[in-house]
A and B are shown apart, each in its own frame.
Chain A
Amino acid sequence: MQIKPRLYPHPVLAWFSDDYQNCVFNPGIHVEGKKEIFRISMACNTSSKSLNELIQQKKASYAVHVECASTRYRDLFLSFDSIFDIDIDVGNVNGRVDVCRLIVAKSDIHNYSSEEFHSDFNGRSFTLIPGDTLAVAEDLSFPANKKDDELAKLPSIFAITRNISIDPNPIDIDIGGQKIKILLMPELYQKFLYLNNDVLMRSTLCSEILLPALVFTLERIAAQSDYSEFIDFRWYRVLAKKLKELNIEITSLNSSSEISLVLANKLLGDPLSNSLKDLENVVAGEGD
């Protein structure tokens, strides 16, 4: 659920309106990924005296709405306490998770009025029902990073596919999705599929296809100043984590002491060395 700026039939303390004068609602939030849960730690408060009073009287409560579009997960967490934690099973979310922070009515509220209202509401009072929005903070989201593929035993951030465009290049790359997509022209794609069946060919294929793709990707990231276009992509989050294991911040790639080729080869587990060893074995085998 994303709450876009809108007009309500009663005053709402919102970042996009002036229904309440000189009041703010901007709860603190911290997200931590643990082994089996994502923990959202909330520190809620509002400077509105009337809303604080409603919460103390248990007529209103803090509410955190969590939704993940890609897994259809959606839930609402309520609390009268300003500090509380929310635990979400890792298996429930994947990719971007939207969080909406609110204050909602918990019971019927009659004749609700406040000196904090905009002068347009002078002399007016409102009837509210449970669930009515009383305050809303700006939407935010966090990436539900996963180390491994949850369904298959595959950690890959790459997808190699056939390029179906007219007159395709032998190789092309598309980093605009959840995986780094490497597109091979149809004849080369067929050869790839055939060779991929042979274990001895895997490292060579990795050096030939994945390594240059990863070099390109790292160069593209290094050239960026704004990473927001990549943050929703799984490959980016996985690379960030893998680079961190090498003590490199993904946002500081352009100041790394190692060039993209060296880093890419490391990240892929040194397919170059493995490939040369495998090819040595192949040649030695042919010489028998």
Chain B
Amino acid sequence: MRGIKMDKLLILRDHSLNELQDRLSENIPSYKSEEIWAINFFKNQNWTVESKLLNLPDNLLKMPDEKNDYDLENSKRLFQALSTITLSQASDPRLWTYLTHVIFWKYMRKRWPIDKSPKAEDLSKAIGPLRDRYFLIGDRSRGLMRNGLARLWWAGHTCQTFDEDGQNNFDLAIPLFLKQDVFSSFMERAYSKNKAVMKALLSVLLKKYQEGAPFDDRNKVRALAKYLVMIGGVTILDAMDRDQLLKLIETQVNKLIAS
């Protein structure tokens, strides 16, 4: 690696990021490989650059299996490993695309394999899922919620609280990772960028989960997500205090459960 100190995390250079994106179609078969093919792809090129972040071990994440994706556990692990990065750094496609293609390639193959997708017979239809999970293309905010690794970090960033003894607590992420639909219905909304609003929402959902009645019905989740958008058109959700938000959300959740 040409004398680069390995204690710093490498990221893609702009041209190598563009190269991977531009040549995605012809590289689709490589996304089925167990090998970290990107290293060979850029052989003899100056394709990475040292970042200002410390390197990450490639065994940081727990490998998904048939029973569990371990999204909650991995969200904790990834967020804590990168807990000091800025929002600017955490939204950089060079970082996440390098991590998905190199450091955590094996994890990505297990968690977001293209050969198990419903449309695997026609590999060209894998382009959409690959763009979503392995890259950050298009709308940045939404892309961060779909990228296979960025979504874990941003969930940790949104859900982290502290216990009375100052310990990290990620319980609020429990209802978020119950189903993919719950995650995307809320985290792809504009209000999800406000941590206070999301914490109030997830507190209500966590309570339902702990009472043995998780709020994860697809239609009801979507109805609640849309309700908050509608309310936010008149009342600035960010300006509501926590108790007010909790009451508003709980009332609506109970209405939806009863309907």
Interface residues of A (CB under 8 A from B): 1, 6, 8-9, 63, 65, 67-76, 78, 89-94, 102, 104, 106, 129-133, 146, 150-154, 156, 159-162, 164, 179, 181, 193-194, 196-197
Q: What separation, in Å, do the CA atoms of A34 and B11 have in the docked complex?
A: 28
Q: What separation, in Å, do the CA atoms of A179 and B144 have in the docked complex?
A: 20
Instruction: Identify A130's interface contact among B13, B49, B88, B240, CB under 8 A.
Output: B240
28 interchain pairs (CB within 8 A)? A1-B190, A6-B233, A67-B193, A68-B87, A70-B141, A71-B90, A73-B87, A74-B193, A74-B238, A75-B238, A92-B88, A104-B236, A104-B239, A130-B241, A131-B236, A131-B244, A132-B236, A150-B52, A151-B11, A151-B52, A151-B92, A151-B94, A152-B49, A152-B50, A153-B49, A161-B14, A161-B18, A161-B22
| Nearest chain A residue, comparing its CB with the CB of B239 | A131
| B86 surroundings in chain A (CB, below 8 A) | 89-92, 150
A-B Cβ contacts below 8 A, count: 131
**Are A151 and B51 in contact, with the CB atoms below 8 A?**
yes
| Nearest chain B residue, comparing its CB with the CB of A179 | B14
| A91 surroundings in chain B (CB, below 8 A) | 86-89
Q: Is B35 an interface residue (CB 8 A)?
A: no
Interface string of B176-211 (1 = CB under 8 A from A): 000000000000001001100000000000000000
Instruction: Identify A151's interface contact among B95, B193, B233, B237, CB under 8 A.
Output: B95
Instruction: Identify A69's interface contact among B14, B49, B140, CB under 8 A.
Output: B140
| B240 surroundings in chain A (CB, below 8 A) | 130-131
| B94 surroundings in chain A (CB, below 8 A) | 151-152
Interface residues of B (CB under 8 A from A): 11, 13-15, 18-19, 22-23, 44-46, 49-53, 86-92, 94-95, 140-141, 144, 154, 190, 193-194, 233-241, 244
Least CB distance from A127 to B in Å reads 12
Given contacts A74-B194, A152-B51, A194-B44, contact A161 B88 (CB under 8 A): no
Instruction: Identify A162's interface contact among B22, B89, B237, CB under 8 A.
Output: B22
| B234 surroundings in chain A (CB, below 8 A) | 8-9, 132-133
**Are B193 and A94 in contact, with the CB atoms below 8 A?**
no
Instruction: Identify B15's interface contact among A63, A69, A159, CB under 8 A.
Output: A159
| B91 surroundings in chain A (CB, below 8 A) | 70-72, 94
**Are A65 and B236 in contact, with the CB atoms below 8 A?**
yes
| Nearest chain A residue, comparing its CB with the CB of B14 | A159
Listed from nearest, the 4 A-B pairs whose CB atoms lie closest are A91-B86, A74-B193, A76-B238, A131-B239
Q: What separation, in Å, do the CA atoms of A1 and B237 have in the docked complex?
A: 11
| A197 surroundings in chain B (CB, below 8 A) | 44-46
6 more contacts with CB within 8 A, not counting A65-B238, A71-B87, A133-B236, are A76-B236, A151-B11, A151-B51, A153-B51, A196-B45, A197-B46
Least CB distance from B172 to A in Å reads 17
Given contacts A6-B233, A89-B86, A151-B95, contact A72 B239 (CB under 8 A): no
| Nearest chain A residue, comparing its CB with the CB of B17 | A159
**Are A193 and B193 in contact, with the CB atoms below 8 A?**
no
Most buried by A among B88, B91, B238: B88
| B244 surroundings in chain A (CB, below 8 A) | 129-131
| B44 surroundings in chain A (CB, below 8 A) | 193-194, 197
Instruction: Identify B141's interface contact among A72, A89, A146, A159, CB under 8 A.
Output: A72
Least CB distance from A94 to B in Å reads 4
| Nearest chain B residue, comparing its CB with the CB of A72 | B193
Q: What separation, in Å, do the CA atoms of A89 and B88 have in the docked complex?
A: 10
Given contacts A151-B51, A151-B52, A197-B46, contact A162 B238 (CB under 8 A): no
| Nearest chain A residue, comparing its CB with the CB of B9 | A151
